[in-house]
Amino acid sequence: MYFTSLFSAGIAALSGLVLARSLASALSIPGTAVTSLEPHGNAFVSLPQFTALLNKYTSNHIQLLPYFAFHHPQDTSTVYHRDDRNRTIGIDFADVNRRIVRSLRFEWHFHLENKIDNIIVEDYSVDDQPTLVRVMHAYGYEYPMVYWIKSKQGLVDCRMKGQGEYDTMYVRLVHEAKFFGLSNVSAWDGSSIRLVPGPKIDSASTF
Ligand SMILES: *[C@@H]1O[C@H](CO)[C@@H](O)[C@H](O)[C@H]1NC(C)=O
Ligand SMILES: *[C@@H]1O[C@H](CO)[C@@H](O)[C@H](O)[C@H]1NC(C)=O
């Protein structure tokens, strides 16, 4: 009896491990690994763990992995606003009652053709601070090397190592003194506006 239960506990632990491993691979992105960079050595961070941390830090507004994108809140429809050069200057997300619950605003660079300078993500339904993205461009560089995401949680400092289409990105959560290295991240071109399914905006706080 004793041995049997030990044995089945061992099987349970083993299948737990196998499950965890297959979950991890289901959630993994080819070639991307997140490493926490510590003064006394580096530690592996799972993608779900990193994504959860980043979602918290950006108020569920922005995705970095596998590519830079904005969350499209569940159960909302989009209305695009464009300028006279047909560039997107705003996207409104309306709920089923046609109330705008979130807006994205894009400010385009004055000199550089087709590069975004500033982005504001604002949830109207909750008493929240907007999330701001400030993009630093350099002449002759296709991909912005640095951008800052400032939310009510703090500042996220994102830096690309080089100009590769896939490159290493360094992410610093400034107010938590956390620093991560992300390998093989699809570099944002500073102009594409991509939406990915995001969580529903908490209706309890809707006005
Ligand atoms: C980087 O990611 C891309 C897209 O996910 C993948 O096709 C490529 O094989 C990866 N490269 C490396 C070196 O892992
Ligand atoms: C403006 O851009 C959108 C999206 O790319 C496209 O569907 C639309 O046809 C464009 N309009 C004009 C007038 O070029």
Task: Give, for all 207 residues of the chain, the pLDDT tens digit.
Answer: 444 443 344 434 333 333 344 444 445 566 788 999 887 888 899 999 999 999 999 999 999 998 999 999 999 999 999 999 999 999 999 999 999 999 999 999 988 878 999 999 999 877 678 999 999 998 888 999 999 999 999 999 999 999 999 999 999 999 888 999 999 999 999 999 999 999 998 754 444
Structure tokens at 12: 């349970």
What is the predicted pLDDT for the residue at 53? 93
Instruction: Indicate if ligand 1 lies below 6 Å from the C-beta of 183.
Output: no
Q: Measure the CA–CA gap between 81 and 199, rounded to whole angstroms.
A: 23
What is the predicted pLDDT for the residue at 29? 65
CA neighbor of 179 nearest in space, from 72, 45, 19, 76: 45
Nearest CA to ligand 1 atom 5: 30
45 falls within a domain: yes
Its domain, for residue 57, covers: 2-23+30-73+125-197
Name the closest ligand to CA 65. Answer: 1
Amino acid code (one letter) for 99 = R
105 falls within a domain: no
What is the predicted pLDDT for the residue at 28? 58
Strands 154-160 and 146-151: antiparallel
Nearest CA to ligand 1 atom 14: 31
Centre of ligand 2 from the C-alpha of residue 148, in Å: 29
Residue 30 Cα to chain centre, angstroms: 17
What is the predicted pLDDT for the residue at 30? 67
Show the beta-strand stretches assigned E in 95-177. Answer: 100-108, 116-123, 131-136, 146-151, 154-160, 166-173
Cβ-Cβ contacts under 8 Å for 94 (sequence gap 6 or more): 76, 77, 78, 79, 100, 101
CB-hemisphere CA count at 13 Å for 104? 25
Radius of gyration of the chain (CA): 20
204 falls within a domain: no
CA separation, residue 96 to residues 75, 178, 198 (Å): 7, 39, 16
Instruction: Indicate if ligand 1 lies below 6 Å from the C-beta of 28.
Output: no
For the whole model, what pTM was predicted? 0.82
Angle between helix 2-27 and 47-57 (nearest 10):
60
Instruction: Indicate if ligand 1 lies below 6 Å from the C-beta of 67.
Output: no
Name the closest ligand to CA 182. Answer: 1
Nearest CA to ligand 1 atom 10: 31
Centre of ligand 1 from the C-alpha of residue 183, in Å: 9
From its phi and psi, is residue 27 left (phi > 0), alpha (psi between -120 and 50) or beta?
alpha
Centre of ligand 1 from the C-alpha of residue 195, in Å: 21
Nearest CA to ligand 1 atom 2: 31
46 falls within a domain: yes
What is the predicted pLDDT for the residue at 27? 52
How many domains are contained in the chain? 1
161 falls within a domain: yes
112 falls within a domain: no
Centre of ligand 2 from the C-alpha of residue 70, in Å: 20
89 falls within a domain: no
Strands 69-73 and 195-198: parallel
41 falls within a domain: yes
